[in-house]
Structure 1
Amino acid sequence: MGLFDQMVGGVLGKVGGTGALGGLLNSALGGSLGDALPGMVNSALAKTEFGSLAGLVTYLQENGLADQVASWLSSGENLQVTAQQLISVIGQEHLAHVATAVGLPPETVGDLLSQHLPGLIDKLSPNGQIELPTA
């Protein structure tokens, strides 16, 4: 069972689907779960080749998405990234590892990352570097 399953599985089971997860993430980024979500994502990514959220961001920067990542880390408007761009850069195998780490079906992770990663990174980088909340 993945980290997200453990943390929010009951809620998602009741409201169903990745659309519900997307809604939950949108709410979480602005709500009380907002402080916990970055740590949850970082912990899940620790189980992957990326090692952390910062590791994923560095990988994206070094493999073709430098402009997008720079916009997320800056105070300006965030450039969007598509699921296809993420799949192309990260690769299906690595994306499957991320999916396993967060307890989601692999086919949903690209869409979820494309929708929520820019805002999450933006929120965590008020000074241009990722700053995870301390517990």
Structure 2
Amino acid sequence: MGLLDNILGALQGQTGSSISDLVSQHLPDLLGQHGIDGLQGLTTQLSQSGLGEAVSSWIGNGENQAVTADQISQALGSPMVTSLAEKFGVDPAQASQFLADHLPQIISTFHGNQTA
């Protein structure tokens, strides 16, 4: 079973929202467990960890800049990525890749920018 299948399985029946919406509903609690104050705190953490240009593209209008799984792992740290992986029953490398793939849209949506 792939990462998306695991995440969808874990969240099944909660709402008909998109995967980004579902993850963004659960991400604030997970972030709080690691001392990060919600999605706003996440954008600050990512910016301070060297991903400021990417985060600015997600918040602003226009195309979202891509990030790698390694960049996400370095910016968030192993405990955060491991917690997410455990929550959804996947390998930390898969969790990092999922975040790299979906955080741009999650943050973009959070900040009211629907351009991906």
Which of the five TM-score ranges fits, normalised by the shorter chain?
0.7 to 0.9
Note if contact 2:6-2:88 (Cα within 8 Å) is conserved in structure 1: no
Instruction: With the length of structure 2 as denominator, give the TM-score of the two structures.
Output: 0.73
Is 1:56 matched up with 2:61? no
Give the Cα separation in 2 of the matches to 1:120 and 1:68. 13
Instruction: With the length of structure 1 as denominator, give the TM-score of the two structures.
Output: 0.64
Residue pairs, 1:48-127, within 5 angstroms: 48-100=34-86, 102-105=87-90, 106-126=92-112
Q: Which amino acid aligns with 1:59?
A: Q
- Relative to structure 1, the CA distance from residue 103 to residue 86 in structure 2 (aligned partners, 3 Å threshold; closer, same or farther) is same
Deviations 1:23-60 (A, max 9, x none): x5xxxxxx932395222222232222323222121100
Q: Which amino acid aligns with 1:33?
A: S
Q: Equivalent pairs: percent with the same residue? A: 29
Flag structure 1 segments of 5+ consecutive residues without an equivalent.
1-15, 25-30, 128-135
- Relative to structure 1, the CA distance from residue 124 to residue 96 in structure 2 (aligned partners, 3 Å threshold; closer, same or farther) is same
Offset of 1:81 from its aligned partner?
0.4
Q: Which amino acid aligns with 1:70?
A: S
Is 1:39 matched up with 2:37? no
- Moved >6 Å (runs of 4+): none
Paired residues in the alignment total 104
Supply the RMSD in Å over aligned alpha carbons.
2.5
Note if contact 2:69-2:93 (Cα within 8 Å) is conserved in structure 1: no
Larger gyration radius, structure 1 or structure 2: 1
